[in-house]
Amino acid sequence: MENIRNFSIIAHIDHGKSTLSDRLIQTTDIVSDRDFQDQILDSMDIERERGITIKSQTVCLPYTAKDGQTYFLNLIDTPGHVDFSYEVSRALASCEGALLLVDASQGVEAQTLANLYLALEHDLEIIPVINKIDLPSADIERVKNQIEDDLGLDPETAILVSAKEGTGIEDVLEGVVTHLPPPVGDTEAPLKALIFDSHYDPFRGTVVHFRVYQGKIKAGDSICFMSNNATYKVEEVGIFQIVRVPQKTLSAGQVGYMIAGIKTVSDTRCGDTITLKKQKCDTPMPGFMETKPVVFSSIYPVASDGYEDLVTALEKLKLNDASLIYEKDTSAALGFGFRCGFLGLLHLEVVQERLEREYDLSLILTAPSVQYEIVLNDGSLLIIDNPALYPDPTMISLTKEPFIRAAIIIPDHYMGAVMKLCLDRRGINRNYQYLTNNRLEMIFELPLAEVVYDFYDKLKSVTQGYGSFDYEIIDYRETDLVKLDILINGERVDALSQLVHRDRSVERARHACEKLREEIPRQMFKIAIQGAIGGKIIARKTVSPFRKDVTAKCYGGDISRKRKLLEKQRKGKKRMKMVGKIMIPQSAFLSVLKTDKD
């Protein structure tokens, strides 16, 4: 165990975690140059296309240090986006130390601080690493000062690297070996191992990723999961070196995988403890905190016969993504589907794309919403996230919505633009402070519903990409909530209903009507698209009909001939409108969710 090190790389988005992992993997020669590709740990297509890490990935690196000993370094590469901080907390639970990566030109940002606090909660040893020192805009002295002032770490221990160029990689490996502690644990004690991730292999069933804290595990052992007492026989154990490498045994301190013919996806829970069936350990490991979804949306298959496929796909995806929560839901317009909870809008987009790509589904999503508390006249409390469950307004005594405390770090000359953006979103400016002579941290209290919609995109555009944003939910506050219905030809479309603040309702209704007018195909009759609160129409757009020129053959003569033909046409259109059905294309549901690209 003296020669094992378990560590992860944590940082803000785009500070170079995956690139540093690439260089560490290349330096330790576990992949031949022919098989190597950039961002080798980002195995999903969607990760490569967006250039982000979504899933934590593990790899075991053999490294011969300067003292001549061979060490096994278990590296866990983590995501940087605020939506995936749950992945980070799970990865950190199986480590003893962390490399905190800071961009030499951008400096310390919001997610750097958030991830540092996560690592400190797990009592990890932290090595600061300054990356991208090859950039012309790199300012190493300024970043060292930030590491000391903002993070409270010793800037002299910071390792200077350029992951792109490959400079300083040996120093990082030596730093891991010398500064990070080896794992502790008794190999002779009863087996105790923590599941921190798992994925589904169509040929082998569920592959469980775990960290052994005490005891040993080998093929042929009968094991037991402590949360549900399910027992299995181990078929194979091993370590990750990009591909799975089987081993005879895994003992205390090691990180690896296990295949045990687990067919049902729901049996493996992240945070569960594995122990031997005959010789159980006395107490389970403390798992991970339960995630609380903040954004809710319903997912429906485009064709009703795709429901069974959606059930299977969500089950398998849930295994890979423990933070996804779902329950059954129905809609008059869209049939059977699921109400899902997500950690943020990026998480929602990623889940949608993964369902469509990996499981070949066509889906419709409803407008994202947050959880509201509604106090009824009789004093009872309702918690709703779905507009369909909104009670009769006459029964409501007051409504409350969740508020967040947002920390926004920006260069100071963007202060006015960010202030305007937050105040437009009903934000309250709590305070601001200078972190360095030109970088500000602004603290706002904002309604979560306003942030969910498109706040992050707007923040990035008004700060030209320099703004960084982190948030936590603080409490529920009283609000003036209304249910906005969208009517097409006088019929409510329940999938387009939204819960909005009264002040924003007209703007949101006009936006939805405008988008639908662009998407709904024209018919032979007029189509009215209206936004309504209760019985009051607050916005309207009209899709004008196709019109055949019935008077073309009248070239002169009395006007009454033309009138007679036009009257006949009008009656025909009226009759058509009574029996005509309007098909709303899938793109129309999606376009309502997107805001203008201004």
Task: Please report, in range form, the residues annotated as the binding site.
Answer: 14-19, 131-134
Q: Do strands 125-131 and 97-103 pair parallel, antiparallel, or not at all (unpaired)?
A: parallel
List, as residue ranges, the binding site for GTP: 14-19, 131-134
Smallest CA-to-CA distance from 460 within 10, 145, 9, 14 is with 14
Dihedral sign for Cα 86, 87, 90, 96, please: negative
Smallest CA-to-CA distance from 474 within 440, 442, 430 is with 430
Residue 217 structure tokens? 């595990």
Q: What is the C-alpha to C-alpha distance for residues 163 and 151, in angstroms, rounded to an integer? A: 22
- Helix (H, G, I), strand (E, B), or coil: what is residue 463? coil
Distance of CA 459 to the CA centre of its chain: 18
Task: Say if residues 280 and 332 touch (Cβ distance below 8 Å).
Answer: no
What is the number of other CB atoms lying within 10 angstroms of the CB of residue 156? 9
Q: What is the C-alpha to C-alpha distance for residues 192 and 284, in angstroms, rounded to an integer? A: 8
Task: Say if residues 125 and 97 touch (Cβ distance below 8 Å).
Answer: yes
Q: What is the C-alpha to C-alpha distance for residues 569 and 549, in angstroms, rounded to an integer? A: 10
Beta-carbon contacts of residue 9 (< 8 Å; ≥ 6 apart): 17, 20, 21, 75, 76, 77, 78, 98, 99, 101
Find the helix or strand (DSSP H, E) in which 357 lies: helix 345-358
- Which of left, alpha, beta for 473 (phi over 0: left; psi -120 to 50: alpha)? beta
Dihedral sign for Cα 269, 275, 277, 283, please: negative
Q: What is the C-alpha to C-alpha distance for residues 17 and 53, in angstroms, rounded to an integer? A: 9
* Three-state DSSP string of 310-341: HHHHHHHHHHHCCCCEEEEEEECCCEEEEEEE
What is the number of other CB atoms lying within 10 angstroms of the CB of residue 192? 24
Dihedral Cα 553, 556, 559, 562, nearest 10 deg: 0
Count CA atoms closer than 13 A to 500's CA, side-chain side: 21
Q: What is the C-alpha to C-alpha distance for residues 509 and 540, in angstroms, rounded to an integer? A: 8
DSSP class of 35: T
